[in-house]
Amino acid sequence: MRLHGRISRAGLPVEGAYVQLIGPSGDFTAEVRTDESGRFLFYPVAGSWEVRVSLPGGSHTERSVTLVDGQSIDVQLSVDEDEHGQPAPAPPESQTG
Amino acid sequence: MGYAHPDVLISTDEVADRLGNHENLHIIEVDEDTTAYDEGHLSGALSLHWQKDVQNPGSRDVVDQQTFEKLMGERGIDESSEVILYGGNNNWFAAYGFWFLRYYGHENVRLMDGGRKKWELEQRPLTTDKPAATPASYTAKPPNRAIRAFRDEVIEQVNKTPMVDVRSPEEFNGALAAPAHLPQEQAQRNGHIPGAVNIPWSRAANEDGTFRSADELRELYVGKGGIEADGPAIAYCRIGERSSFTWVVLHELLGIDRAKNYDGSWTEYGSLVGVPIERTPTA
């Protein structure tokens, strides 16, 4: 079972973002650094998870996802910062069987 | 009340200020991702490979005293050198390096608080230039077994000595075999050592990867965790690196001198024949 995705800012992939996977208890489960394509990958079990992202320079964004047995999930998180550095809402994730 | 040994931590600001003056200062990167150093590291930093340098692949033990002396000497480190360690994954593997240096008696070693993650997110410079070290002579002390727990001691101390399982709740309760950024196929059973309390290492860290305050750490481990300040404690995880992070908290920041790191951890204990384990239902 996989939870994977991509981080972008203003339409461009972000390398070097730190993506944390937070478990149902609220505890950190794992963290990865995005590759040159802005991609990340986790191997969690079914359940409710939170994906929490820190970008170089100090921006943050996060998304709650629910993983169902036998499915993988693709999470696309896009950060469009305004003049105050606030991230704009991200599009919904898609699921694949 | 502050940290018991505050000098073991150094901030990214202070490291940045000192990068231009390397006299008898040695910065060493230790990463789970052993390619990270080659892709960019702090100016003047050398690397220590947690598998090739620190561990003996034949015995799955840390390298012997003579090999440790060679490792240090090749990096220009002598017994009095100041060594600053940093790495990714919230300093998991740098903390393992810290514990490894202490195991052979090196006193003047520090962790860059927040590690590589904080340095990168602060958009500080990295370089691919690899410095040439001037070889030095190093004479190590005999291994300090007071900071290391071995298999037989752990089995004998089940439900006697407080044990801290520092893995995530999902690994503790048996739902996952490894951290969720790693594939889950593992040889050992899933679960935890009977009687162990689950205090994930991450509860000791702030969002930016730095260590929480002494009061917060004391409340976490001594208050809620049931560890006595002057008593024994054994920290373990999967392969001994996250538990090194917690060992640094217990032994160095809280001054719990009888705290040990069980570096064999769950990959050893969970594979043993004839020893009990526990699982708790997934929430």
Chain mean pLDDT for chain B:
93
Angle at A26 (CA atoms; ends A21, A31), nearest 5 degrees: 20
Mean pLDDT within B100-105 = 98
Query: What is the model's pLDDT at position B261?
Result: 98
Nearest to B165 by CA among B233, B259, B217, B235: B235
Angle at B106 (CA atoms; ends B101, B108), nearest 5 degrees: 110
A90 has pLDDT over 90: no
Across the interface, of A23, A31, A58, the residue whose CB is closest to B181 is A31
Mean pLDDT within A4-19 = 94
Class at the top of the CATH hierarchy for domain B6-143: alpha beta
pLDDT digits (tens, 9 = 90+) for B73-84: 999 999 999 999
Query: What is the model's pLDDT at position A19?
Result: 96
ipTM over 0.85? The verdict is no
Give yes or no: B100 in active site: no
Angle at B214 (CA atoms; ends B209, B215), nearest 5 degrees: 120
Question: Are B181 and A30 a contacting pair at CB < 8 A?
Answer: yes
pLDDT digits (tens, 9 = 90+) for A32-65: 999 999 999 999 989 999 999 999 888 889 999 9
pLDDT digits (tens, 9 = 90+) for B221-237: 998 888 999 999 999 99
Search chain A and give the residue with CA nearest B200: A27
Search chain B and give the residue with CA nearest A42: B181
Task: Cite the residue boundaries of each domain of chain B with CATH code 3.40.250.10.
Answer: 6-143, 147-269
Give yes or no for a contact between A31 and B90, defined as CB atoms under 8 angstroms apart. yes
Nearest to A85 by CA among A3, A4, A10: A10
Query: What is the model's pLDDT at position B241?
Result: 94
Query: What is the model's pLDDT at position B49?
Result: 92
Least confident of B3-7, B110-114, B132-136: B132-136
CATH architecture of B147-269: 3-Layer(aba) Sandwich (3.40)
Torsion of CA B47, B53, B55, B58, to 10 degrees: 150
Domains along chain A with CATH numbers:
3-82 (2.60.40.1120)
Both tokens of B82, joined, read 């100041």
Percent of chain B residues past pLDDT 90, beyond the cut:
82
| Most B-contacting residue of A1, A7, A9, A33 (CB-CB within 10 A), to test interface | A33
Query: What is the model's pLDDT at position A84?
Result: 45
Question: Are A43 and B183 a contacting pair at CB < 8 A?
Answer: yes
Query: What is the model's pLDDT at position A93?
Result: 54
